[in-house]
Structure 1
Amino acid sequence: MVNEGDYVAIFNSIHRVMEAEKLLKGKKLKILLIPAPRAVAADCGLAIRYAEEVRSGVEAALLESGLMPHDLYRKSGDAFEKIEGDK
């Protein structure tokens, strides 16, 4: 479900993740709403997955709308690396 190098955005509520999904799909950005991976904690159980090629567009849209994720991870091998300082 999450490929090597993909980003996973974790939000602190179901409302925020759904709002972010609507915003990003409205901007025609290639994202996918997924169940949050077990390896990362998510209060709402859902996350947004996106690839490196759309990262700047996704994160710019979220920042502009005030919907930055609570946590951001990048899939690396079998683990998820937390991205620091990119919010």
Structure 2
Amino acid sequence: MKDYYIITFKNTHGAINGEKLLKEKDIKVAVMPTPAVITRSCGISIKIDDEDIEMVKKLIEQEQLVVKNIYKRSDNGYIQV
């Protein structure tokens, strides 16, 4: 299985804004239901590829992207980063 990241948000509005921003930055995103095993807040999450995580972290540090958490998905399950 290829590793990927799931970005969770506090609400649907945050997820929609996050999707728009990431697409503007040419980051490939996939909107998906938030897996219940990681959180029960917002039901929408964004999946990104492993190679895009550093750009996402920069956007968070620059306060352009507001997220609840980021999880790495691997063969071992979900790990909060």
When normalised by structure 1's length, the TM-score is: 0.79
Give 1:23's match in structure 2, choosing from 17, 21, 24.
21
Comparing both structures, which one devotes a greater share of its residues to strand?
A: 2
Q: Where in structure 2 are there 5+ consecutive unaligned residues?
A: none
Question: How many aligned positions are there?
Answer: 81
Q: Where in structure 1 are there 5+ consecutive unaligned residues?
A: none
3-state SS of paired residue (2:62): helix
Deviation at 1:14, TM superposition (A): 0.6
When normalised by structure 2's length, the TM-score is: 0.84
Note closer, same or farther for the CA distance 1:34–1:12 as it changes in structure 2 (3 Å cut).
same
Asked if the contact 1:59–1:68 (Cα under 8 Å) also holds between the matched residues in 2, the reply is no
Pair 1:43 & 2:61 matched: no
- What corresponds to 1:74 in structure 2? 72
Superposition RMSD in Å: 1.7
- What corresponds to 2:52 in structure 1? 54
Displacement over 2 Å in runs of 4+: 61-68
